[in-house]
Amino acid sequence: MSETFQAILISRDEEKNQSVDIVEFGESDLMEGDVTVVVEATTVNYKDGLAITGKAPVVRRFPLIPGIDFAGTVVCSHHPDWKEGDKVVLNGWGVGETDHGAYAGRARVSGDWLVPLPETMSPREAMSIGTAGYTAMLCIMALERHGIAPDRGAVIVTGAAGGVGSVAVSLLAKLGYHVIASTGRPQEERYLKDLGAGEIIARAELSGPVRPLGKERWAGGVDVVGSHTLANVLSMTSYGGAVAACGLAGGMELPASVAPFILRGVSLLGVDSVMAPKELRLEAWRRLASELDRDKLAAMTTTIPFSDIIAAAHDIVNGKVRGRIVVEM
């Protein structure tokens, strides 16, 4: 009989009530796929929090193992790109949403979804970055493609003390930007300045009513909050600037006017990490390996055991997590 391993399983009863349990799983219980990976590290992203708490319909097939990203070692491959012993990273592609995910000792996925773990990175470091950090890099790459550079002016990062925010602050500071960090947690000012923020502004400054145009305060932005915050960020973006939007921590709506677009030529750049093409993923992970300060990464990371994932999922949707969480298996 093949080995069993622990897995977190989200189930639903006939009344659609969701339950989350730690169960014993075997390889034969996993879904189809041409590569099987021993999961060595994973993480808890905001989306994992939504999945486990059931606060948003992230999981679209039951029962399902959640967890949208992992790093580990290939143990079996029928895919031409991968062989036993290869170190790999997976982010998104519906894993933890429609396919069994990372919160298990093993994962079986399509080899097309994997990227190599950068040589200088451990599985733990890769998951300390996780989908949040990889998305922060995708946001920065989107701003750069639009021509944003440190000499164009400051950049704002909203939800700065969260996962995407902390990595974005750290990367942008390293790249030479003056980073304005917006947070609802004033007690995290020291933390954000240590990551490289040059200035802190209160979340409340951006969550109020939106004027069509405000004073021009930044050339670019990385927004994880959405709603009034994103609308205010756009209204204060300087002529020709751009904002990369990737999140909805403050809400899905966008109560904005067209004024920043048609009077200041501001651009709103949508960023999705789940279905991002492989070339972008490889570029993002290559740059994360060389440009993210590892001491800062360590400073923003809390390590938890597998048994604490469910509690951490509740904490992240309640805005209680600072920086990144890494799960050691």
Residues at the interface with ligand NDP (CB under 6 A): 45-47, 131-132, 135, 159-165, 183-185, 203, 224-225, 229, 246-250, 271-274, 316, 319, 321
Residue number closest to ligand NDP, CB atom: 162
CA 193 to chain centre: 21
Q: Write the single-letter amino acid at 325.
A: I
Give whichever of 36 and 182 is closer to ligand NDP, judged by the CB atom: 182
Give whichever of 183 and 232 is closer to ligand NDP, judged by the CB atom: 183
308 closest CA partner among 288, 329, 277: 329
Shortest separation between residue 9's beta carbon and ligand NDP, angstroms: 22
Shortest separation between residue 5's beta carbon and ligand NDP, angstroms: 26
Provide the angle, in degrees to the nearest 10, between the axes of the packed helices 123-145 and 163-174.
70
CA 14 to chain centre: 32
Shortest separation between residue 170's beta carbon and ligand NDP, angstroms: 13
Q: What is the CA radius of gyration of the chain?
A: 20
User: Parallel, antiparallel, or unpaired: how do β-strands 324-328 and 35-43 relate?
Assistant: antiparallel
Give whichever of 50 and 88 is closer to ligand NDP, judged by the CB atom: 50
- Extract the tokens encoding 50: 């939504």
Shortest separation between residue 158's beta carbon and ligand NDP, angstroms: 7
Shortest separation between residue 273's beta carbon and ligand NDP, angstroms: 3
Shortest separation between residue 248's beta carbon and ligand NDP, angstroms: 4
- Buried residues in 170-193 as b, exposed as e (16+ CB within 10 A): bbbbebebbbbbbbbbeebeebbb
Give whichever of 231 and 249 is closer to ligand NDP, judged by the CB atom: 249
Give whichever of 26 and 251 is closer to ligand NDP, judged by the CB atom: 251
- Extract the tokens encoding 137: 């890099």
Give whichever of 41 and 164 is closer to ligand NDP, judged by the CB atom: 164
User: Across the chain, which distance is largest between two alpha carbons, in Å?
Assistant: 67
d(CA 129, CA 273): 13
d(CA 212, CA 128): 38
